[in-house]
Structure 1
Amino acid sequence: MTPTELAALIRSCLLDAVADGTLSLPAEEIGAVKVERPRQREHGDWATNVAMQLAKKAGTAPRALAETLAERLGRAAGIAAAEVAGPGFLNIRLEAGAAGELARSIVEAGPAYGRSETRRGTRINLEFVSANPTGPIHIGGVRWAAVGDSLARVLQATGAEVAREYYFNDHGAQIDRFARSLLARARFQEAPEDGYGGQYISDIAAAVVADAEADGDPDPRTLPDAEAQEVFRARGVARMFAEIKAALHDFGVDFDVYFHEDSLHASGAVDRAVERLREAGHVYEDAGATWLRTTTFGDDKDRVVIKSDGEAAYIAGDIAYYLDKRERGFDEVIIMLGADHHGYVGRMMAVCAAFGDTPGVNLQILIGQLVNLLKNGEPLRMSKRAGTVLTIDDLVDAVGVDAARYALTRSSTDSMLDIDLDLLVQHSNDNPVYYVQYAHARTRNVMRNAAEHGVRREDGFAPELLDHPADGALLGVLAQLPETLEQAATLREPHRVARYLETVAATYHKWYDQCRVTPRGDQPVDDTHRTRLWLNDATTQVLATGLGLLGVSAPERM
């Protein structure tokens, strides 16, 4: 019996009590029932506080309602006991056979196990990374690459339609500084004081010259400054962005949409968005500038959208971009930003409200904290190619894609993250990604050994034989995957998947030490071996699913 099946059974008992008049409560008041694993295993397999939630509406005491429910559950097939605890908690023990059936359910469901359709029909635009195309992706952006892609996978696992979007900042002063830096380096001159440094500038400058030569164009270094700068702008940005996309692809991250900031201004989208807000009564003129009255919606001050010189302020592009996403049919717009963007949240939520949308629902902004790389216990500061900024290549070169993605995703983005590079290359239980991947590889080794000993799933399944405490513990953990994915999606916290996998791995390793799938010596193969192979293979599936949601491989051997 899965947690979902148990929850449905509890709800059915409640509806039956309403139907026969035992429970005085409108049936529509009984929503979805939630069951969870008790913190203390001796309290049972599952627990629910549904009686405490419904008692007031039913005009009865929580314990009285819990006792009514316990009596009805106790008569149901697969329930060994239902006991009332405390003010109205209900602790439930399953019969061994009912609990063990989960192993077969997981194996037969395959990759579908744990997934749901709770967000079917919801279209989500998820914008993350969006690094300026003026240099390699720095380590903070790499964190968003790992977390953002994993969040997209989790949301898709709960039925949502997700578009991964990269906002290409190709409009503004930073692109001018980038072009001037390339031109200066190509001419063997010092970079501008406000320009960009690092070996990558030399590499791209040389590539621009070589590309021009290959295309039969003049050497851009010999052109007048304005023309030369435009060549280095166009070719250099294209080169840099191609490198960014390639690095992300190698990191397992690909985007559905690459949106160009410049298109908002060129298409008139900025003017249209401002005019729409003006028609809604939220725009006014003052001191020659055009203002958005964001204080109406909780911002600390009104914002200039068109400056007195007629140029669009930075927020104007953000306003147009948000409206563009909504007009493309997205129900939810999620934007993932770095720690230096806290001040951005209030004004954009005000923009969301000004368009008549609901802040926190139609627009959600996630802020991630900084990342520090440690080597020999000391922070790393220098990148070989980018100068002072550590990049995606620095991290991947040090530990590989799997370890990098797992390390970046396993902690809440609310907290600053220290990544110990020495730990992530160790083949030890202290290395979390190794610990989880090794658990998966071990399940596959057990499967191969079982085949060699003639243990085959198809020859028998007796769930009541999964009666060892270690069997029950592993079944209980595997049962939590659907709830874990739902929580990770609801809270926008894919790190919950990583921490769950570590619990699965720890529980499996203990099970492996206590329960055998293959017979000892001349012992014949029996249904216990076969049934435990089902449980082993169910663990394989759960680990593979979880690792896949993090964009981490599930190795066959280690």
Structure 2
Amino acid sequence: MSADSVQSKVALAILNALELAKKTGLINCQIPEKIILDRPKNRDHGDYATSIALTLAKDANLQPRVIAEVIVKTLNENNLLVPAGISKVEIAGPGFINITLESASQGSVIIEILTAGKKYGQGESLAGKKINLEFVSANPTGPIHLGHTRWAAVGDSLGRVLSAAGAQVSREFYVNDRGNQMDLFGQSLRAAALGIDRPENGYHGEYIADLANEIIKKNPEFTKLDEESGMVAFREAGYKLQLDLQREVLENFGTHFDTWFSERSLYEDNFFNHTLDKLKSNGHVYEEEGAIWLRTTDFGDDKDRVMIKSDGSFAYFASDSAYYISKRERGFNLCIYMLGADHHGYVGRIKAIAACAGDDPEKDIEALIGQMVKIIEGGQELKLSKRAGTIITLEELVEKVGIDAARYTLIRYPTDTPMVMDVDLLKKNTNDNPVYYVQYAHARICAVLRNAKDLGIDYGLKFYSPELLVHVRERELIGLLAEYPKIVAAAAFARQPHRVSRYIEDLAAQYHRFYNDCRVLPLGEEKPTKLNSARACLSMATAQVISNGLDLLGVNAPERM
């Protein structure tokens, strides 16, 4: 919400009224730093409402309605209504204050939207936050599958939303390129290349044969190496190829990572020893039975964790610990981990690491758990992948429904609940398909504006007359457009980008109601009027906000469909 927005002016007027009332002795209480305004669901209750009188009642030792009467009286007697663009202020119920704006004042949000353009909705609520956002983080041993796909869409969108709220965000992919799974990957590739049985607990999808063939085309000598050397050679070559494929698939999906962080790097340049020294200095490392442990039970973990095993090898928890320290030493003051449905137990461990490092786990770490996705096609759940041999891959999902439909659908549901994706529905060009519904609304407005230009209707900031927009449908649409910055801020604060998708669906529906009841284009031989221009400006602003919202979801806003 910009400092000069209508909403800001109204909030400031009420705040000024409270301060004046306190100075004159009408009330005696702590004045809040800001006033919260809500949009009433019932349009008869005005354009904004506030419950500030109810909030202050206990501190002021007065009935809420008495405080509300003081606020309204002070607003009226000190000429605070006019500068704020308020035409009417009323008290409702036990002390709610309902505010109705002048038409010109309410309509000024269109000027704000058209002036800001793509930046409308951006704010500073998270300014100063340097966030490490880690998501997807698949093993470099296979394709990106459906479990990763939900985070590929939601994580990318969350990064956009956090940035729009003023945070400095670094999107990070943690590459699990150490451990036994990498050796099994190398053994599986070597076996496929030599035409022998793959390890029982290895990798069995068709993609392994494809990778093996690509490797031996470039490196035929790998087939002549002994078992250990061959495993290493195939592992490293396959790792590079598979990681490049993952990068390509994710970039094609519109998901960009600022950093691809290798787990191996945690053991280079003495970094793990540095991590261990740091944790030791805080008194949480001990040795027992030849192993080195981190005493995570001091901070709520169900058991202490081994970092270095008695045989000298590193436990996976060693990487978790060093990786967290790396994030903090790279300057991030908030680390967000986006985890799969099977990682609930990981949350306590990672918070315990933060506490052992001397940080505040409730402030410096957040963990989001994403539930599973089911794909339904032809009434049946799809489980098997042609290439991966296990679960549907990101590429296969995109082939079925397209990038926009896949991203939009994966983002529009809260991630802490399982979801079902209906392939047949997402292929339909009907209002039952949410992504089509929103994209069609944008395309429809663009068509209206093209027709307006052809009919000689001038629109844009120079031709906008906000005082003409007095119809109830116009006021409803303007009011909803004014809410967009709050929606973005709330989505960022709650880490819920699905709020943006639900908002733009409401906005699309509101535009259709406006268009049906308020003629934007003149009929027949009618000449264009200033009202046509004002409505075209309102349409233009609506298209801008839908486009901005879709951009936060990483979804296209087509001008023609």
Q: TM-score range by the shorter chain?
A: over 0.9
Alignment of 1:448-459 (within 5 A): 448-458=450-460
SS in structure 2 at match of 1:32 = coil
SS in structure 1 at match of 2:292 = strand
**How far apart are the structure 2 equivalents of 1:313 and 1:230?**
21
**How far apart are the structure 1 equivalents of 2:94 and 2:306?**
56
Task: Identify the residue that residue 103 of structure 1 maps to in structure 2.
Answer: 110
CA deviations over 1:211-257 (Å, ceiling 9, x no partner): 22xxxxx5211211112111101110000000000000000111111
Alignment of 1:118-133 (within 5 A): 118-133=125-140
Deviation, structure 1 residue 269: 2.2
**How far apart are the structure 1 equivalents of 2:183 and 2:420?**
34
Greater shift in the superposed pair: 11-20 or 264-273: 11-20
Q: Structure 1 segments of 4 or more deviating over 6 A?
A: none
**How far apart are the structure 2 equivalents of 1:479 and 1:137?**
39
**How far apart are the structure 1 equivalents of 2:318 and 2:388?**
31
The reply to whether residue 12 of structure 1 matches residue 19 of structure 2 is: no
**How far apart are the structure 2 equivalents of 1:271 and 1:127?**
24
**How far apart are the structure 2 equivalents of 1:69 and 1:269?**
60
Counterpart AA for 1:430: D
Greater shift in the superposed pair: 159-168 or 46-55: 46-55
Deviation, structure 1 residue 390: 0.8
Task: Identify the residue that residue 163 of structure 1 maps to in structure 2.
Answer: 170
**How far apart are the structure 1 equivalents of 2:526 and 2:313?**
83
Deviation, structure 1 residue 19: 3.7
Task: Identify the residue that residue 176 of structure 1 maps to in structure 2.
Answer: 183
**How far apart are the structure 1 equivalents of 2:20 and 2:439?**
46
Unpaired runs of at least 5, structure 2? none
CA contact (8 A) 1:440 1:554 kept: yes
The reply to whether residue 497 of structure 1 matches residue 504 of structure 2 is: no
Deviation, structure 1 residue 8: 2.7
Deviation, structure 1 residue 158: 0.8
**How far apart are the structure 2 equivalents of 1:2 and 1:308?**
66
Counterpart AA for 1:366: L
Task: Identify the residue that residue 539 of structure 2 maps to in structure 1.
Answer: 536
Counterpart AA for 1:53: T
Deviation, structure 1 residue 360: 3.0
Deviation, structure 1 residue 58: 3.1
SS in structure 1 at match of 2:362 = coil
Greater shift in the superposed pair: 134-143 or 292-301: 292-301
Counterpart AA for 2:287: E
Deviation, structure 1 residue 358: 1.6
CA contact (8 A) 1:71 1:82 kept: no
Counterpart AA for 2:95: G
CA contact (8 A) 1:73 1:79 kept: no
Deviation, structure 1 residue 12: 2.7
Counterpart AA for 1:538: A
Deviation, structure 1 residue 4: 3.1
Deviation, structure 1 residue 296: 1.5
Greater shift in the superposed pair: 108-117 or 332-341: 108-117
Deviation, structure 1 residue 48: 1.1
Deviation, structure 1 residue 53: 1.9
Deviation, structure 1 residue 280: 0.9
C-alpha change, 1:465 and 1:269, in structure 2 (3 Å) is same
Task: Identify the residue that residue 215 of structure 1 maps to in structure 2.
Answer: none
**How far apart are the structure 2 equivalents of 1:371 and 1:430?**
20
Task: Identify the residue that residue 243 of structure 2 maps to in structure 1.
Answer: 241
CA deviations over 1:355-412 (Å, ceiling 9, x no partner): 2212232111111000111101110012121112210011100011000000100000
SS in structure 2 at match of 1:361 = helix
Task: Identify the residue that residue 408 of structure 1 maps to in structure 2.
Answer: 410
* TM-score, normalisation: structure 2: 0.96
* 196, 200, 212: which one aligns with 1:189: 196
Alignment of 1:191-206 (within 5 A): 191-206=198-213
**How far apart are the structure 2 equivalents of 1:457 and 1:72?**
39
Task: Identify the residue that residue 22 of structure 1 maps to in structure 2.
Answer: 26
SS in structure 2 at match of 1:557 = coil
Counterpart AA for 1:457: Y
**How far apart are the structure 2 equivalents of 1:360 and 1:372?**
32
CA deviations over 1:501-527 (Å, ceiling 9, x no partner): 100011111111111111111222111
**How far apart are the structure 1 equivalents of 2:466 and 2:392?**
52
CA deviations over 1:31-78 (Å, ceiling 9, x no partner): 121111112222221111122222333333222112222233455112
CA deviations over 1:176-202 (Å, ceiling 9, x no partner): 111111000011122110111111111
Task: Identify the residue that residue 557 of structure 1 maps to in structure 2.
Answer: 560
Counterpart AA for 2:17: C
**How far apart are the structure 2 equivalents of 1:230 and 1:356?**
39
Task: Identify the residue that residue 70 of structure 2 maps to in structure 1.
Answer: 68
Alignment of 1:152-551 (within 5 A): 152-212=159-219, 219-458=221-460, 460-551=463-554
Deviation, structure 1 residue 136: 0.3
CA contact (8 A) 1:334 1:365 kept: yes
* 138, 141, 163: which one aligns with 1:134: 141
Aligned residues: 551
- Root-mean-square deviation (CA), in Å? 1.4
CA contact (8 A) 2:10 2:86 kept: no
Counterpart AA for 2:186: A
